[in-house]
Structure 1
Amino acid sequence: MKNDQLPTGRRSVLRLAAALGVTVTAGALAVDRLGAPEGAPGARAGAGTAPPPPRPGAAGPPASAPRLRPSAYRLQPMTAYAPAARPRALPPVRRRPFLSLTGVGRSMVLTFDDGPDPRYTPAILETLRRYDCRAMFFVCGEMAVENRDLLREMADDGHVVGNHSWSHPLVPKLRPSRIRDELGSTSEVVERTLGAAPLWYRAPYGAWNRHSFEIGAELGMEPLAWSVDTLDWKEPGSGTIVRRVLDGAGDGVIVLSHDAGGNRSQSVTALRRYLPGLLDAGYTITVPRR
Structure 2
Amino acid sequence: MSADSPETVVIVNPNSGDGQHVEDVRNHANQLGYALRETASAGDAVEFARDAASAGASTVVAAGGDGTVNEVLRGIDDADALDSVTFAVVPVGTGNSFAKHIGVTGIDEAFDAVELGERRRIDIARTDEHLFVNSCIAGLTAESSGDTSDDLKRRLGVLAYVVTTLRSVAEFDSLPLAVDVYENGRESTAWAGDAMLVLVGNTRRFVTGGETPANAEDGLLDLTVVEDVGKLDLMGDAVAGKLFGRDSEHVERFQAPALEVTLRDPEVTRFSLDGEIVQRRSLSMHADPGVLEVAVGDGYEPAPRGP
| TM-score normalized by the length of structure 2 | 0.23
Ranked by relative contact order (alpha carbons within 8 Å, sequence separation 6 or more), the top structure is 1
Higher strand share: 2
| TM-score normalized by the length of structure 1 | 0.23
